[in-house]
Amino acid sequence: MSDTRPTNPVIPGFHPDPSICRVGDDYYLVCSSFEYFPGIPVFHSRDLAHWTQIGNVLDRPSQLSLPADMPSSGGIYAPTLRHHDGRFWLIVTNVSEGVGNIVVSATDPAGPWSDPVRLPGVPGIDPDLAWDEDGTCWCTVAGVAQVRIDPETGETFGPPKKLWSGAPGVKAPEAPHLYHIGDYWYLLIAVGGTERGHGVAIGRSRAPSGPFEPCPANPILTHRGTDHPVQNTGHADLVQAPDGSWWMVMLGVRPGGGTPGWHVLGRETFLAPVTWVDDWPVVGEVALELPQFPWPLAPAAVEEQRDDFDLSELRPSWISLRDRPAGHFTTKERPGWLTLRARGDSLDAADVIFAGRRQQHLTCRARTLVDASQGRGGLAVRLDERHHYVIEASDTEVRVVARVGSLRTVVAAEPLPGGPVVLGITITDPPPPHDARTGPDDVSLGYERPDGTFTTLATLDGRYLSTEVAGGFTGRVIGMYAANGTAHFDWFDYEPTGR
């Protein structure tokens, strides 16, 4: 990310359902995390353009315990982050525990966050928190419905009340956020579903519980039916900058390839400016090149893309599947190496021991040095249990395995004596000519010979690791895993080679 020409997405890679708040000069933003542990990444920014992950909200089993058999794209959906009365408050749904809404709070958004307070009386997903002037806390959920709550105790007061939901028959009125701005209470919602028809609508009222008058310009944001490179824009949140200007964050996708277009990075976080006309918000373009900012940008933090595993704790951007059991992930057994001890026997298994990071660029390269002489382990591009490509090493061979739906194939294998080997995955644009059937990208998997030359064992069409093929709400994650015995990883390096 450059200092002078900030770009969208402001938080690339699988970072959907953004919720934002500002305290003084600091902005904080959180996203959904589904089946991954730790849950709910927290980002910090001072200029809205450059974001750094400072932690995760749900980072201990007492806060997040995902069942071993929970499906991918279950788990943690759509948090709302707010600051009230000197504390940060976060409300979120764990769909793998019924519709389990919880509230946690913290004085420092980097953590630690409290243990959850359960909200059994809050009836749906995408919960929002808003306080009125007398301290009443309003919780609004998808549907759209509202109930008064006590976020300290989880108590609800009275039955949920139906609010405005965009328009009669609208698909998926969800992701509500309620704000008191000027003389009005505004209810911002997502409409049309999180696919190509996604959009944002808004209503206003003199009271937090309505009745809401719809904005005549609804939907105030949608890219449906356009050839804009950013699609599925919706699920938004608003924030005001210290200079009084307004901004919107929302999710969007960057589809690639021919027809119907495949998005592989999941839903990403984008930013757009907002102006006000007749007390209604008007959303500026969700442009890939962000417009001139009204303030000088903070120098872009240099993103640490290589990890030498020299720290005792894993960085917050490393995510695992459903849990991270002690004893299966350690940098202490072989100092300077990440040791993974197998549980599930492949990436097809829900309980596989995996540490990955989001693929954040349409083209990139990931490499790791693995010693699998005491087992079997490797490097994977993962969409879910049923959609992934891996390059893995054992003490006798290196091989590429592809899993697409119910098909699982060893695509290529070569004998290789055990011992440390560099495994690599390179993601590139498909070579021309491009036509309606061209996929979004090519995924090449291979290894480095001891003399440093790289051998590609297979190049696979990336469309099979896209949301359009796999379904669900997540995006690609690239990372290391152990499938048998123990696999030691000396370093992991991720290198963006494009946007």
Which residues are known to be catalytic?
17, 174
Among 92, 139, 175, 423, binds ligand 6LW (CB under 6 A): 175
Task: Kindly identify the residues of this chain, within the stretch 55-94, that bind ligand 6LW according to CB under 6 A.
Answer: 77-78
Among 6, 11, 12, 17, binds ligand 6LW (CB under 6 A): 17
Q: Give min distance, CB of 473 to ligand 6LW, in A.
A: 4
Buried b (16+ CB within 10 A) or exposed e, 80-95: bbbeeeeebbbbbbbb
Distance separating alpha carbons of residues 473 and 343, to the nearest angstrom: 26
> CB-wise, 235 or 387, nearer to ligand 6LW?
235
> CB-wise, 140 or 394, nearer to ligand 6LW?
140
Q: Give min distance, CB of 321 to ligand 6LW, in A.
A: 18
Q: Rule CB under 6 A: is residue 16 a binding residue for ligand 6LW?
A: yes
Distance separating alpha carbons of residues 175 and 159, to the nearest angstrom: 20
> CB-wise, 93 or 426, nearer to ligand 6LW?
93
> CB-wise, 19 or 426, nearer to ligand 6LW?
19
Among 174, 307, 371, 385, binds ligand 6LW (CB under 6 A): 174
Q: What are phi and psi of 408, to 5 degrees?
A: -135, 125
Distance separating alpha carbons of residues 397 and 456, to the nearest angstrom: 14
Q: Give min distance, CB of 127 to ligand 6LW, in A.
A: 10
Sign of CA dihedral 59, 64, 70, 72: negative
Among 8, 32, 269, 467, binds ligand 6LW (CB under 6 A): 32
By CB atoms closer than 10 A (0-12, 13-18, 19+), residue 246 is middle
> CB-wise, 283 or 404, nearer to ligand 6LW?
283
Q: What is the DSSP string of 112-123?
A: PPPPPEE-TT--
x-marked contacts with ligand 6LW along 217-256 as a string, rule CB under 6 A: -----------------xx---------------x-----
x-marked contacts with ligand 6LW along 105-134 as a string, rule CB under 6 A: --------------------xx--------
Q: How many CB atoms lie within 10 A of CB 170?
A: 17
Contact at 8 Å (CB) between 468 and 447? no
* Sole residue written with tokens 């709070």: 105
> CB-wise, 177 or 376, nearer to ligand 6LW?
177
> CB-wise, 99 or 379, nearer to ligand 6LW?
99
Q: Give min distance, CB of 194 to ligand 6LW, in A.
A: 3
Q: Give min distance, CB of 222 to ligand 6LW, in A.
A: 13
Contact at 8 Å (CB) between 499 and 375? no
Q: What are phi and psi of 131, to 5 degrees?
A: -110, 140
Contact at 8 Å (CB) between 466 and 359? no
Task: Kindly identify the residues of this chain, within the stretch 358-417, that bind ligand 6LW according to CB under 6 A.
Answer: none
Query: Could you tell me how many residues of this chain bind ligand 6LW (CB under 6 A)?
Result: 15
Q: Give min distance, CB of 162 to ligand 6LW, in A.
A: 18
Q: Give min distance, CB of 489 to ligand 6LW, in A.
A: 31
Distance separating alpha carbons of residues 309 and 304, to the nearest angstrom: 12
Q: Which two tokens stand for residue 499?
A: 């946007």
351 secondary structure, DSSP code? T
Q: Distance between terminal CA atoms of the chain?
A: 9
Name the residue among 142, 156, 17, 20 with its Cα closest to residue 76. 17
> CB-wise, 202 or 342, nearer to ligand 6LW?
202
Task: Kindly identify the residues of this chain, within the stretch 180-199, that bind ligand 6LW according to CB under 6 A.
Answer: 190, 194
Q: Which two tokens stand for residue 316?
A: 């917050």
Q: Give min distance, CB of 232 to ligand 6LW, in A.
A: 8
Q: Rule CB under 6 A: is residue 319 a binding residue for ligand 6LW?
A: no
Buried b (16+ CB within 10 A) or exposed e, 478-494: bbbbbbebbbbbbbbeb
Please give the residue ranges that form the binding site for ligand 6LW (CB under 6 A): 16-17, 32, 77-78, 125-126, 174-175, 190, 194, 234-235, 251, 473
